[in-house]
Structure formats: C-alpha cells, structure tokens
C-alpha cells in the first residue's frame, strides 16, 4: 500500500518538478554548476587529489594482494586471456573480486557524500577547507549510521555506473584483467545484442537513480521517496533533465579527451628537447602508456565531481532551503573551527600525509612493475642487457636499456671461482675480454681488472664485467631484470647464490630467474617458492601444465605458434619469445599475443607495438613531434 500511495503522490506532484525543470536551460545549469564549484574550487581540487590518491593506494594494494592470493589458490602464475574466465569462476576469486568492488563502491559513496556537503556549503557561500570537506563527510556518515539510515543510502549507490562511465571505459581498455574479462565475456556470449541491452538498462537505472543520494542525504527522504522524486526529475514530462545529463557527460568526455591530448603534446615537446629522435620516441611511447593509465585517475575525478555538481545544481532548483533552515548544518562547519577539532584534524591530516608519502614512495619505486601488472601491453626486453647499444652484459648496456625504456633487461650470470656472481654469457672470458680462461678458473679480483668493452668499440674501453649485486642496485626502480642462470656444471650452488643476492637487495619484485636447466629452476623454487621463474626452450612441445617449476615460458620465436601460445596461456603461463629483431617477426609476435619480446632492438619493437595499438598515423605524428 505504501508503494501505491507513493506512486499516486508521484502523479500529483510531477507538475511541480516539471515547472522547475522547464524554468531552466542547459546554459543556466552550466553557469549554476560552475558557480557552485568555484566557491571552494581550490580546496575542492586539493580534496579530490588527496582523496583519489589515497583511494588508489588502498584499492591497488588490496587488488594486488588479493589477485596474487587468488592466483596461488587457482594454481596459476599469471592471468591471461585464455584462463581469465576459469580464474574468475573460482570461489575465492569471486569472493575477493566482490570485496574489491565493495571497497570501491564504498569509497565512491563516501566521496559523493563529501561532494554533496561541499556543494551545499558552496550554495550558501560557505567556504570549506579541504580537510573540512573530508570531516563533514565523516560527520554526515556518522549521522546516517546513528539515525539508522544506512539502508536508505544504499540504493543511492546505483548512480555509480553512470557517474563513473568515463573511468570504466578508460580502465576496461587499459587494465589487463578487466580487458581480458570483457573480451572473454563478449566472445563467449552468443547473443551479443543482449550485452548491449544489459549495459543500456544498467545505465538507464543508474541515471534514474541520480537524485536518490541528494534527496536522502540532504533532503532527509527515505529511499522509496527519493527514487520516486528522482524518477520525476528525470522521467515523466521532464525529459530535459535526462537530456541535460547526457549532454553534460558528452561535454565532460570532450574535456577529458582535450586534457589527455594536451598532456601528450606537452610531453612530446619536452621529451623532444631532452632526447635524440629515436630515443625520444621510445620515451614518449612509455609516457603515452602512463598518460592512458593516469587519465583513468583524472577521468574518475572529473566524472564523479562534475556529475555530482551538475546533479546538485538541478537538485537545488527543487529543494528551496532557506539559510534559516540550513542553520543546524552550518553549526557543524562552525564547530570545525574549534581548537580541539583543529588539533585533531592536524594530527589526522599529518597521519594521512605520512601514510600516503610512504605508499607513494613505494609505488614510485615499483612504478615499472606496477605499470606492467596493470596495463594491457606486450613487454619489451633488451637482450643481454642492451647488446646492440653497448658491450653485452655491462653496466653501460643496462644504462642504454633504461634510456630506451625497455621493460626488462635479459642478463646472463655465472659465478667466479671464489663464488661471486657476475654477468657473463659464455663460459670462457675470451670472446668479450680476450682473456683465455673459463670463469670458474678465476677469482673475482682478476675478473674485475678485465676490459669487457674494447672488443665492442674503442669508446667503451675499460668497461668492466659487473657483479649481479651492482646491477640490481643500479636497476632498482629503473628496470626489471630477467636473470638467466647459466649452468656450466662448475657452479652447483649458483641458484642459492643468485637468490641470496636478490633477497639481500630486496629485489624479488623486479627480478625473474630463467634457465634452460629445468632442474635448476626446481632448486630455485625449493629455496624461494615466490620468486618468478621462466623455462627457456629452443622448441616448444608437450604438456605445459607439467612445468610446475616455471611461471612462464621463454621460447625461440621461430617455434612460437598460436597453438603453443594458447596452450601456455590456458595454463596461466606467460610466453616470452627470443630473439626477435626484424619488423615482420615483431608484427607476427604481436598478432600471436605473446607477453614479452626479447630483442636487440627495443625501440623498433616499441614502435611496431605502438603502431598496432594506436594506429600508424598516430605514431608518425609522434615521430614528427619528436624530431
């Protein structure tokens, strides 16, 4: 009976809504929205940047930990397009993904409450500091819980898909697991029109729910009343509101695209001044990937804050509060100037800043790894540390690999007679240094005196053979390492020694160990089960599920076929291919959807991959800019 009564009230009251909506036009709403935003504009920006940065840290750390845990429970090393559906169907995965989604929804819900309170304050020319926006949100949530109204707010969360549409589109196209999942669902669904219909229905319901939050949290209505009022504002004869919200989001999308384009152009101009043309292009393509990733952050911030401001602008036409009616709420803001509150706020803010700084530092230190975990991209590995630019397996080669923005450097390690792990491909020192002895016959002090650069070119004279310890110390935060252990039958403790160096440098997150010796990989896993390992194969056949000691496969590119790649991916194993240098081979590897290309030409690989992803015309434009 209650619902019927509400529906009757809806029919009688819709004229009031229609009149208010008809009185305004799009230009008026835009001006009113900007007026509401600009009162606390600077503080709002500070709040949004801090809140979204903190939210990303929370979500990323929980996401990363939960995905790693779920992968172990599912028996996979990696998520691939072929195994994503079976991974998602695992009960533990379902539980953890649901928890991730709930965390994100709660964070967005709290942000909406903070924004609504900020915009309401702005509507009465009340200025709020960034920390007050946050604290008012906390007080409002506390009041909702205290009054037992938490269930009234939950239906308002239906608005999340609509106000986050820019963010969702950006992230599904950029984030690996979301991209794989979307592709798998789309390809496995026979009635694809139903997918589009479902998306449309979700967005329409989300749009119809646009005013539940303001009417519940600001207007003190219950959920049913709020939904019916929201429906009256959006539906019925007041279809202008529907149209205005669509037009507003089109404008937000154009704004986001323009900012992204401007960021790319500015980055291109800066990079072109700092680097030569080839290196500039490689650097710009990496920056372009990061711009795509950060544009998700930006679009989420603009989409939520912009939509809530516009919704409040329409809401304010319906809800005619006087300043007298608002006095109780103003008392909250006044109370926040109290010395006790100021001291408490300072301590809370300081704690948040310290936590954010620590987490941000760790994320920046691991930025290369984070980007590769998140972004949908084929990674690039510089062969033998960057052997086409400088003497192989030397520090100067690794510096070149960093300069051309390789994701990984593949290096070869062996140990000296006195047990020091050094970079060396051949067992003999003769080819690279001219010293006719095997590595197991000499101590490190002899190796340290050898010239490993002159044979490559006179300008590299005096370049030394580095230790693994020196290399890891240099590469931390700059470059991931693919450490190939060479089993020369004179280094039975090599696995233990390599792991000791990695663990002493806290380098497990950016180092993987590979070998052609499968038994040696077993030794590595026995000592440290968490280190990622790769089995190097000159040809590929057999059952990849049996390779339990290998998290990924490293295959000679001539033996890489669609069947092999699909079989490996189905087992949750990535596929790295070596050594790929020609454009035609690079293009073939991209079509096969390999995960990592090991090459002597990282810049060329990056260029071909980017051409495939972004269009040749776009790459040519970047070339022109960076010349």
The CA distance from 477 to 277, in Å, is: 25
Residues 6 or more apart whose CB falls under 8 angstroms from that of 56 comprise: 297
The CA distance from 5 to 335, in Å, is: 40
pLDDT of residue 350: 59
Q: How many CB atoms lie within 10 A of CB 526?
A: 10
Buried b (16+ CB within 10 A) or exposed e, 455-469: bbeeebeebbbbbbb
pLDDT of residue 476: 92
The two tokens of residue 473 are 């110390």
For the segment 157-175, what is each residue's pLDDT rounded down to a tens digit? 888 888 887 777 776 666 6
- On the 0-12 / 13-18 / 19+ scale of CB atoms within 10 A, 22 is exposed
DSSP count for the chain of H helices, then E strands: 28, 9
Mean pLDDT across 296-305: 86
In the chain, where are the structural domains located?
2-374, 379-577
pLDDT of residue 314: 81
Model confidence band, residue 423 (pLDDT cutoffs 50, 70, 90): very high
Q: Which of 52, 425, 557, 576 is catalytic?
A: 425
Decide which of 68 and 330 is more confident. 68
pLDDT of residue 3: 44
Q: How many CB atoms lie within 10 A of CB 308?
A: 26
- Look at residue 524 and tell me whether its pLDDT is greater than 90: yes
Mean pLDDT across 77-82: 68
DSSP secondary structure string for all residues of 327-378:
HHHHHHHHHTTSHHHHHHHHHHHHHHHHHHHHHHHHHHHTHHHHHHHHB---
CATH of 379-577, one of 1.10.3720.10, 1.10.3210.10, 3.90.320.10, 3.20.20.190: 3.20.20.190
Mean pLDDT across 559-576: 87
Model confidence band, residue 613 (pLDDT cutoffs 50, 70, 90): low
414 close to 491: Cβ distance less than 8 angstroms: yes
- Find, among 82, 619, 587, 66, the residue nearest to 373 by Cα: 66
- Find, among 581, 582, 592, 406, the residue nearest to 481 by Cα: 406
- Look at residue 456 and tell me whether its pLDDT is greater than 70: yes
Task: Give the side-chain half-sphere CA count within 13 A for 229.
Answer: 22
- Look at residue 151 and tell me whether its pLDDT is greater than 80: no
Identify the helix (H) or strand (E) that includes residue 554.
strand 552-556
Mean pLDDT across 505-518: 93
The CA distance from 132 to 147, in Å, is: 22
Decide which of 182 and 421 is more confident. 421
Mean pLDDT across 476-487: 93
pLDDT of residue 553: 92
pLDDT of residue 253: 87
The CA distance from 500 to 413, in Å, is: 14
Q: What distances in angstroms separate CA 625 from CA 54, 272, 519, 528, one per listed residue?
A: 35, 7, 50, 47
For the segment 410-422, what is each residue's pLDDT rounded down to a tens digit? 999 999 999 999 9
Q: How many CB atoms lie within 10 A of CB 480?
A: 21
Q: How many CB atoms lie within 10 A of CB 558?
A: 11
Q: How many CB atoms lie within 10 A of CB 66?
A: 18
Residues 6 or more apart whose CB falls under 8 angstroms from that of 557 comprise: 577, 578, 579, 580, 585, 589
The CA distance from 192 to 187, in Å, is: 8
The CA distance from 453 to 465, in Å, is: 9
pLDDT of residue 16: 46
pLDDT of residue 263: 84
- Look at residue 64 and tell me whether its pLDDT is greater than 70: yes
For the segment 326-382, what is each residue's pLDDT rounded down to a tens digit? 555 555 555 555 555 556 555 655 555 555 555 555 554 555 555 555 555 789 999
511 close to 485: Cβ distance less than 8 angstroms: no
pLDDT of residue 17: 46
Residues 6 or more apart whose CB falls under 8 angstroms from that of 391 comprise: 397, 432, 452, 453, 455, 456, 457, 460, 463
Helix 277-318 vs helix 26-39: crossing angle, to nearest 10 = 100
- Look at residue 488 and tell me whether its pLDDT is greater than 90: no
- Look at residue 177 and tell me whether its pLDDT is greater than 70: no
Please indicate whether residue 490 is annotated as part of the active site: no
- Look at residue 102 and tell me whether its pLDDT is greater than 70: yes
Q: What distances in angstroms separate CA 144 from CA 131, 140, 227, 335, one per listed residue?
A: 20, 6, 18, 19
Q: Which sign, positive or negative, has the C-alpha torsion 452, 455, 460, 462? A: positive
Q: How many CB atoms lie within 10 A of CB 444?
A: 17
Model confidence band, residue 23 (pLDDT cutoffs 50, 70, 90): very low
Residues 6 or more apart whose CB falls under 8 angstroms from that of 7 comprise: 228
The percent of residues above 90 in pLDDT, for the chain, comes to: 28
pLDDT of residue 199: 80
- Look at residue 623 and tell me whether its pLDDT is greater than 70: no
17 close to 238: Cβ distance less than 8 angstroms: yes
* Long-range CB contact pairs, 311-314, < 8 A, 24+: 311/210, 311/211, 311/213, 311/214, 311/245, 312/33, 312/36, 312/115, 312/116, 312/119, 312/120, 312/123, 312/214, 313/29, 313/32, 313/33, 313/36, 314/21, 314/24, 314/29, 314/211, 314/233, 314/241, 314/244
DSSP secondary structure string for all residues of 96-120:
HHHHHHHHHHHHHHHHHHHHHHHHH
The CA distance from 591 to 576, in Å, is: 14
pLDDT of residue 451: 95
Rounded to 5 degrees, what angle do the CA atoms 551, 552, 557 make?
A: 170
- Look at residue 82 and tell me whether its pLDDT is greater than 90: no
The CA distance from 131 to 44, in Å, is: 10
Please report where in the chains the tokens 């792990």 appear, as a residue.
421
Mean pLDDT across 250-256: 89
Model confidence band, residue 22 (pLDDT cutoffs 50, 70, 90): very low
Residues 6 or more apart whose CB falls under 8 angstroms from that of 574 comprise: 77, 78, 80, 551, 552, 553, 568, 595, 596
pLDDT of residue 520: 94
Length of the chain: 627
Selection from 99-103, 196-200, 434-438 with the highest mean pLDDT: 434-438
Q: Is 466 helix (H, G, I), strand (E, B) or coil?
A: coil
Decide which of 111 and 143 is more confident. 111
Q: How many CB atoms lie within 10 A of CB 336?
A: 18
Model confidence band, residue 474 (pLDDT cutoffs 50, 70, 90): very high
For the segment 197-241, what is each residue's pLDDT rounded down to a tens digit? 888 888 888 777 777 777 777 665 555 666 666 566 555 444 676
Please indicate whether residue 557 is annotated as part of the active site: no
Mean pLDDT across 291-299: 78
pLDDT of residue 475: 94
Model confidence band, residue 8 (pLDDT cutoffs 50, 70, 90): very low
- Look at residue 396 and tell me whether its pLDDT is greater than 80: yes
pLDDT of residue 6: 46
Q: Is 422 helix (H, G, I), strand (E, B) or coil?
A: strand
Q: What distances in angstroms separate CA 46 from CA 122, 124, 147, 301, one per listed residue?
A: 16, 21, 31, 12
pLDDT of residue 203: 80
- Look at residue 433 and tell me whether its pLDDT is greater than 90: yes
Rounded to 5 degrees, what angle do the CA atoms 36, 250, 43 make?
A: 30
pLDDT of residue 439: 95
423 close to 466: Cβ distance less than 8 angstroms: yes
The CA distance from 495 to 527, in Å, is: 9
pLDDT of residue 287: 76
Q: Which of 52, 383, 557, 569 is catalytic?
A: 383
């Amino acid at each position: 009976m209650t619902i019927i009564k509400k529906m009757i009230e809806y029919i009688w009251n819709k004229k009031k809504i229609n009149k208010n909506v008809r009185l305004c036009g799009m230009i008026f709403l835009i001006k009113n929205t900007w007026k509401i935003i600009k009162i606390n504009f600077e503080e709002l920006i500070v709040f949004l940047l801090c809140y979204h940065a903190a939210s990303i840290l929370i979500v990323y750390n929980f996401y990363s930990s939960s995905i790693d845990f779920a992968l172990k429970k599912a028996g996979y090393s990696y998520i691939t397009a072929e195994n994503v559906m079976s991974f998602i169907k695992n009960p533990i995965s379902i539980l953890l993904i649901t928890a991730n989604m709930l965390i994100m929804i709660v964070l967005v819900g709290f942000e909406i409450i903070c924004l609504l309170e900020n915009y309401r304050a702005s509507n009465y020319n009340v200025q709020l500091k960034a920390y007050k926006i946050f604290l008012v949100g906390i007080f409002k949530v506390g009041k909702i819980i205290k009054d037992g109204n938490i269930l009234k707010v939950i239906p308002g969360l239906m608005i999340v898909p609509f106000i986050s549409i820019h963010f969702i589109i950006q992230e599904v196209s950029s984030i690996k697991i979301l991209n794989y999942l979307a592709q798998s669902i789309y390809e496995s669904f026979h009635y694809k029109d139903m997918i589009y219909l479902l998306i449309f229905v979700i967005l329409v319901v989300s749009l119809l729910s646009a005013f539940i939050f303001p009417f519940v949290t600001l207007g003190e209505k219950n959920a049913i009343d709020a939904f019916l009022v929201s429906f009256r504002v959006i539906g019925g004869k007041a279809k202008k509101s529907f149209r205005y919200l669509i037009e507003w989001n089109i404008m937000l999308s154009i704004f986001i695209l323009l900012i992204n384009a401007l960021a790319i152009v500015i980055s291109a101009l800066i990079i072109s001044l700092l680097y030569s043309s080839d290196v500039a292009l490689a650097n710009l393509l990496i920056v372009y990937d990061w711009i795509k990733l950060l544009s998700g952050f930006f679009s989420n911030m603009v989409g939520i804050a912009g939509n809530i401001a516009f919704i409040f602008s329409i809401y304010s036409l319906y809800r005619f509060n006087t300043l007298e009616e608002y006095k109780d709420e103003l008392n909250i803001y006044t109370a926040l100037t109290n010395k006790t509150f100021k001291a408490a706020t300072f301590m809370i803010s300081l704690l948040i800043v310290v936590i954010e700084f620590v987490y941000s530092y760790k994320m920046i230190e691991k930025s290369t790894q984070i980007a590769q975990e998140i972004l949908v991209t084929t990674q690039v590995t510089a062969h033998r540390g960057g052997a086409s630019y400088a003497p192989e397996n030397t520090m100067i080669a690794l510096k070149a690999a960093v300069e051309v923005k390789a994701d990984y450097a593949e290096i070869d390690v062996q140990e000296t007679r006195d047990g020091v792990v050094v970079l060396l491909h051949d067992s003999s020192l003769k080819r690279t240094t001219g010293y006719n002895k095997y590595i197991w016959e000499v101590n490190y002090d002899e190796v340290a005196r050898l010239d490993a650069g002159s044979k490559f070119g006179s300008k590299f004279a005096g370049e030394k053979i580095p230790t693994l310890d020196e290399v890891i110390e240099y590469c931390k935060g700059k470059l991931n390492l693919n450490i190939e252990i060479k089993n020369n039958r004179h280094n039975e403790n090599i696995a233990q020694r390599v792991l000791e160096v990695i663990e002493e440098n806290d380098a497990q997150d950016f180092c993987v160990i590979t070998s052609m010796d499968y038994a040696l990989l077993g030794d590595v896993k026995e000592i440290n089960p968490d280190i990622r390992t790769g089995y190097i194969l000159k040809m590929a056949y057999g059952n990849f599920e049996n390779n339990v000691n290998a998290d990924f496969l490293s295959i000679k590119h001539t033996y890489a076929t669609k069947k092999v790649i699909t079989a490996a991916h189905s087992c949750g194993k990535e596929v790295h291919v070596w050594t790929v240098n020609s454009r035609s081979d690079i293009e073939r590897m991209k079509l096969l959807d390999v995960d990592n290309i090991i090459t002597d030409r990282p810049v060329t690989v990056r260029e071909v991959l980017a051409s495939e992803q972004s269009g040749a015309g776009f790459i040519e434009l970047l070339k022109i800019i960076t010349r």
